[in-house]
Structure 1
């Protein structure tokens, strides 16, 4: 009887399904946005929170509004705009609460209770404000038990949503997507259940009329709302997915960079160890000894002539007597074993504060600091001589050796640290001339070598004007094809009386006496002129020249190179400038402008003697070089030393990662050639390819190379 007092209501099945689809999709997007809001950076989090709240709130509201548009009471219905707008804002507020709580680290009971209650209030406000948009006369009669049931469903759905936010946080990959889809269905049905339970609580009396009949209504409007909501949610989901993919790429890149950094660090440590350590004996090498010598001398010099400045620095230069016959009689392996044993005895003889190093061959040096450095050095020399008298077992035989030792003291014998070693070497020469097996302290009369160097540098001053300098050229070839990649210009000095003087002799002289600038300019001009002459002969090639550290400190160097290229009408790419790793790293900041200007010309830069310096590999990416040249010392023991192969492999990988060509110099055997090709080196140079030759011999060599390739 009571039911006859109210209108019979029903829902459009199509719109019910559409509303549930929107609810499920909105739930799926909500779960995805919760992850984005949580992981976003602080500056972006507020934008994700705002955009996510609008997108998610609109999706939930669209489900509710479409469901109401599908409500049919048998009388025309319409929804007033004001309450409808308020219901939309309530949905956005509920979504904002949900996404804000998703940023918490933990879902505590109080957070769960407060958050689910706030969300339930927002959802119920959305629903019942939307129902209030129906301006009915007489008004709706509510079934309060059903109303309370809808409120309970809203609260439970909110609590479940929050739990799902936190539960899915720990899931990844395909499993998370499957669980997220299942959770979205559950949440969507829960939201739909709340809505339709709330709708079932509304009873319309017989004779009810709707004063807002001209408001929002109709299936076309429902279609527009569904479409707009789905597009908005889809846009939010696409943005979320793109953000997740970008973060995944960043994480992968970060992992790759971390692994690369670890590999580079390991390779750098290996290279530094090799750069400062003698491979045969494990002692410090010349570079490390010179570094320690200069630091010790500078430390003593800083104290000045004060009563407390009592420390002195003693340097001992050791050379084995009669080592060559051991190599000749027993072989190089036996000779290496003798050197290792000598190194071991030296380490046992010296104090922990002293330094001992191997310069090369059978030459060793030691350094002591003491109040009376000369006496301490002589005493140490005597202990070394005594230790050397103990027989060494070589190839099953006991062999006795002796050594000659020279001593020089800083600052007594020399106040310039780099020359102190030369003073000790001169004293060693005197010990040799005295018959060996003894120690000699430096005296001024032993400075004949210094006088000889003065004469040599005086002759070198006129070498350019007299036409005594010349360039030899050593080819570089592509490692795989064997085709010529270019040539390196190597400086030579043809002295009128001494013949060809080694660059190892006259280049340090030129640097020491300030002649390297003029000689370096001659090399630039002559190399460019020779390139032009070859071009006239139809030979197209690239030539590399070496730049000294002194040239790099000259701000006019780029202008000089540009002028030479213009004068001889050459393309900048045909010229390669090789700079040693040490020179490039020692004054990287000061010389960076010069290097950048040279690179800007189009001239290629190459890092020469790589592996002999002491720089961090991290600097490589800041250098405008496109070529890396591995020092010959790494190539020599490549086929016999697994560590050398590992280091080379790391260096090649590093260079290629930085888009640099790798040149290996000092290739002398077919086994080295094969190993370098296998390791990925791009360009090879060495006696196996060709020895340095005068410029006039280059065309014939190229023709012979072509003929050999054609014949094969």
Structure 2
């Protein structure tokens, strides 16, 4: 059964809080018992010494006659002064002599006690421990006499034992109160901490916009796969979904519309991604789906469903928006036994689907080789631009009525030092995703202008058309660059035409209209390439004020048999006449194509029937001779 992964949390705070409270309570109790015990002992000792000082003072003040001319009175008098039931010892020392009297203490002990007190100062510890017996001593001076009084204490021991029992009981009560408080407080704090942890986990593992799980959540899923790696039955498909034109939606309608689109689309995807499958958003317009227990065959079905759900229009702010999506997926463990690379495999399949515009793709090992080549080509773009490895091949546009070459289209090729001649599909997407679109656009413009200027000097006065991406027209310095390059080459702008793809241009019409108008003022002709394949309205032609429309090859390839395509071509020709535009038919490959187009009023054609794209040298020879070999051969 699939279990949602949880973030690794530290041990609960409750046990640590209880232990901390107990430790503090023990420490406080220990300090309390120690201080209280020592205070009781000090009070008792002080009380004993005060009593002893009174006895010493009394002895010192006894009249001399009662002392029988000695420093001490006789034992009978002393027995009335001191408590003879307690072992005691009195020593009086004067300048003439000294005398001692002991009660319940033998002479050896008396001598040891006297030696100990003799080595001590008056402010030293009042307690003397001797042979497991405890004595309190006090020494006082009266003129020339010094009286030392020692008494074995038993009351102190009894008092301290009583105090210790009371303190122990008090400490136990304090300890249990601390335990109760610790349990209560820890329960409240632990509950609050758990709520906070749950909220933080939700924030850490879920996307704030859509509420879907995020990349960290995906990491936990992949970790759970690792933990179940020993289970041979563990399998699943990881899908990557990337919206095709989300950036254009953001640019055209604003980020708030883009956010609404993401939220609406995520809800639609959830209708086909049912538990235990998980939909996640990694950021931007990229979604990830983990579908446990799915086979490759089941994954293909789900991939098609995802493509279909993303292809439907979504109403937002009164607009019907459809960006489409590219879906790729990889299967664990068929495609990889490493969960860490599973996401890379799914991404590779998704990028293949985006590149081929196939809707969805499943991962295969050939994608890796293609990706490696793309990485190599992307790394070599700077060098290719610097070394002029990107060159133009030319294909003529022919007036079918006379066979005259009226213009040529410059098509970019990459003369790669190790891979040979590369067609545009191998590197154009890389350029558009490498941040070098504007550099590439200026490079192509300069190549075309230089070729046209060189041809003009050789007497070849044929315009050259080049393809520019709408992203090139967003280059704020492009117009000035074109004008400066034309001036340096001493070339009239009429010898340069710019072709734009309809479906790309229509999406960015508000951004490029001003740029196209400035280009037109220079004298450069504007053509709409692949006309009929986009989603533009009739007002689109009038907005751009194009000079030429080029009918896409998809309508020409089966012109003889497809009545619908013939109707579309005929309508396009009539539409061009209404807008006073020229018409060029692309993909003309047979004489039948040419004859049908002429009968419809289309006079200019481009295609293999007349010539394939060729290097500059061959193109110049073809223009000079005026002989179209492919057409003659056919």
Provide the TM-score with structure 2 as the length reference. Answer: 0.47
Q: Which has the higher contact order (CA 8 A, sep 6+)?
A: 1
Higher strand share: 2
Structure with max Cα Rg: 2
